[in-house]
Amino acid sequence: MIPKSHPRYESLMTRELIVEGVRKGITSTQGLIAQGRGEAFDYLIGEKTTESALHAEKVAAAKLLLERKPVISVNGNAAALVGSELIRLSELVNAPLEVNLFHRTEERVNKIMGHLRSLGAKNLVTKNDALIPGLEHDRAKVGSSGIFVADVVLVPLEDGDRCKALVDMGKTVIAIDLNPLSRTAQCATITIVDNIIRAIPNISKFAEELKELEQEELLEIIWEYDNKETLSFAIEEINKNLVEYLPPQSRL
Ligand code: ATP
Ligand code: MG
C-alpha cells in the first residue's frame, strides 16, 4: 500500500495501475518501458499541466467536436490508466473507441475490449479489417469503419512511424506524449505534452464547455493554433525547470 501522504502518491499509483494492466494481460511488458520514459519527462515538466498543454487540450476538444468522424485510439497503457475517462470522452465528442496496438496480439485486443466493455463502453470499433498504407502488416491493422476512415484520430502514446503514416493518409492526428522530442510529438498535428492521466479529463472538461458553440466559434479556436509553438513551449518549460535546479552562481 502506498500511503496517500507520499509526496509522489499520484505518480506511484499510476505505476501501480500499469503493473496491474500487465498482470491482467491488457498492457504489454514494453508498455512498462514506455511508462518509465513518460515519467522521466513528466518529472522534467514538473508533473503538472503546463499552460501550453492546456491550450492544446482545448484545441483538441474543439477539433474532436468539429469533425464528422473522430476516433479515439486505445492502447494497453491508455486502457490501464484511463479506461473510464476515455469512455466518457468518447461519449462527449461522439467518437468510437478503437483498440489499436503496436505490439499486437488478438488475445490482448480482445482483453482490452473486454476491459472497456466492463467499464461501460458501448461505442467500440470491433473489426480491424483495413490496413494503413506504408506499414508492415500487424502494425497496420485498423477498422474500416474506424481509424481507416476517420478525419481526426486521438492517439494517446502512439508510435512515431504510425503517427506519420496516419498524417500521410491526410488525417488530423492529436497525440498525447510527454516527450516533446519524440517522433510522434514532432509529426502529430496537435501534440499534447502532458500525462495522459491529466490530459484526458482536461479534454473532456473542454468538450463539455465547448459543446454548445457554433461551428464558426470552434473553427476560431483551431484557426490560430501552431503546433511548432506548442512544442517549443514544452522544451522551454523543461529548460526553465532544469535551470531552477542549478545553484544561482552556475546559471547562465
Ligand atoms: P517515437 O516512436 O514517437 O519516436 P518512442 O519510441 O520513444 O517515440 P514509444 O515507446 O513508441 O515512444 O511511445 C511511448 C511514448 O509515450 C514516449 O514518448 C513516452 O514519453 C510517452 N508516454 C509514456 N507514458 C505516458 C503517459 N502516461 N502520458 C503521456 N505520455 C506518455
Ligand atoms: Mg517508438
| 93-108 confidence digits (pLDDT tens) | 999 999 999 889 999 9
Q: 117 versus 7: which is more confidently predicted?
A: 117
Interior/surface letters 185-223, b for 16+ CB within 10 angstroms, e for the rest: bbbbbbbbbbbbbbbbbbbbbbbeebeeeeeeebeebee
Backbone angles phi, psi at 213, to 5 degrees: -70, 150
User: What CATH class does 51-238 carry?
Assistant: alpha beta
Q: Ligand 1: does its nearest atom lie under 6 Å from the Cβ of 69? A: no
Per-residue model confidence as pLDDT tens digits over 165-192? 999 999 999 999 999 999 999 999 999 9
For position 21, what pLDDT does the model report?
97
Confidence at residue 252, expressed as pLDDT on a 0 to 100 scale: 62
Residue nearest to atom 25 of ligand 1 (CA): 38
184 alpha carbon, closest ligand: 1
- The closest of 31, 32, 63 to 154, measured between CA atoms, is 63
pLDDT exceeds cutoff 70 at 248: yes
Convert the pLDDT of each residue in 74-96 to its tens digit.
999 999 999 999 999 999 999 99
156: phi then psi, degrees, rounded to nearest 5 = -70, 130
Contact 73, 147 (CB under 8 A): yes
- Residue 179 CA to residue 234 CA, distance in Å, equals 9
Q: Is 34's C-beta closer than 6 angstroms to any atom of ligand 1? A: yes
Task: Note the pLDDT tens digit of each residue in 134-174.
Answer: 898 888 999 999 999 999 999 999 889 999 999 999 999 99
CA of 214 to the centre of ligand 1 (A): 35
> Cα(178)–Cα(137) distance, rounded to whole angstroms?
28
Q: What mean pLDDT do residues 199-205 have?
A: 98
Residue spans per domain, the chain:
51-238
